[in-house]
Amino acid sequence: MKLLTVKNLTKSYQGQKTAIHPLSFELHQGECLGLVGESGCGKSTLARCLLRIETIDGGSIYFKNEAIERLNERQLHAYRQKMQIVLQNPSSALNPKLKIKDSLIDPYEQYRKQLSLRHFSYTSKKAFVKQLLEAVQLPESLADRYPHELSGGQRQRVTIARAISIEPELLVLDEPTASLDVISQGAILALLAELRVSLHLSYLFISHDLAAVAQMSGRILVMKEGRLVDQFHRDHLLSDERHPYTKELISIF
Ligand SMILES: Nc1ncnc2c1ncn2[C@@H]1O[C@H](COP(=O)(O)OP(=O)(O)OP(=O)(O)O)[C@@H](O)[C@H]1O
């Protein structure tokens, strides 16, 4: 089943060159779709458009056949429960003044009226926070700490726990490991792969790192200067048919 359909999406910023030229793709339920491209090619702009944090200039984005540009405020709130984003820098995603347990409970409190949780259950705040920390393989003792008292990898696990707490269907992972050291990167990728299966999630995995994208994803899209220049299954990564730009990315990974 198609979860997300993007048709001829375009986006420009005032006074800048076009950030996204007409761009189309589909993301199917249960898949991890990779999106790779160098800095400035428009990956984060695309992610922000998908979440309707940015307005689009042209084209359409459908989530399960519903055009998101037509959603009213109430429908948009419900849509954002179904699609969550995990960003590169976990420090900016967590409120430095809130203890981890309070950051974890915040999305649940915002969305509780429309939630029907299948994987987690809410009996008490303490039990809910414990389940979430367990899901991302963190000790319960971190619940009472502040973000600055955690390592970068632990903070990223907390932002992942926050994102999955309200049981979205799709996670947009925008460079989720870019700020981490190599060991933590591997551990976060392994955790994300496990969560996708156990929570029946779908991912759009965005990165400049082709090796990480190829490890995580089945299908891979390649973006260059606001355009999709190549798309293929990872089994065909090394095929001769690849676009010259994909070959360039392969040569440097
Ligand atoms: N708010 C903004 N206002 C004006 N121009 C912007 C804005 N955000 C992005 N851009 C421009 O749009 C283009 C695409 O940027 P974007 O951040 O989407 O790229 P990216 O591929 O995600 O890069 P990175 O990996 O470095 O974050 C760039 O030319 C950038 O300068």
* Interface pTM, i.e. ipTM: 0.92
- pLDDT at residue 87, rounded to an integer: 86
Query: Residue 226 C-alpha to ligand 1 middle, in angstroms?
Result: 10
Provide mean pLDDT across the span 60-75: 93
Provide mean pLDDT across the span 168-196: 93
**Which tokens is 48 given?**
């922000």
- pLDDT at residue 92, rounded to an integer: 79
Cβ–ligand 1 distance for 19 under 6 Å, the answer: yes
Cβ(238)–Cβ(250) below 8 Å: yes
Q: CB within 8 A of 95, min separation 6: which ones?
A: 103, 147
Query: Residue 46 C-alpha to ligand 1 middle, in angstroms?
Result: 9
Measured CA to CA, the distance from residue 172 to residue 236 in angstroms comes to 24
**Lowest model confidence (mean pLDDT) among 28-37, 108-117, 236-245:** 108-117
CATH number for the domain that contains residue 86: 3.40.50.300
Cβ–ligand 1 distance for 87 under 6 Å, the answer: no
| pLDDT beyond 80 at 111 | yes
Q: What percent of the chain has pLDDT over 70?
A: 100
| pLDDT beyond 90 at 113 | no
Return the best residue to mutate from 17, 18, 43 for the ligand 1 pocket (most ligand atoms within 8 A of CB): 43
3-state DSSP assignment of residue 56 = coil
Q: What is the DSSP string of 114-179?
A: G---SS---S-HHHHHHHHHHHTT--GGGGGS-GGGS-HHHHHHHHHHHHHHT--SEEEEESTTTT
Chain centroid, CA 115 distance in Å: 20
φ, ψ of residue 128 to 5 degrees: the values are: -65, -45
Query: Residue 128 C-alpha to ligand 1 middle, in angstroms?
Result: 37
Provide mean pLDDT across the span 128-144: 97
| pLDDT beyond 90 at 116 | no
| pLDDT beyond 80 at 112 | yes
Give the residue, by CA position, lying nearest to ligand 1 atom 24: 39
State whether the Cα torsion 84-90-96-102 is positive or negative. Answer: positive
Q: Tell me the residue range of the domain where 225 lies.
A: 2-251
Name the domain count of the chain.
1
Cβ–ligand 1 distance for 72 under 6 Å, the answer: no
- pLDDT at residue 65, rounded to an integer: 87
- pLDDT at residue 45, rounded to an integer: 94
Q: CB within 8 A of 135, min separation 6: which ones?
A: 120, 161, 164, 195
Provide mean pLDDT across the span 101-110: 95
| pLDDT beyond 90 at 93 | no
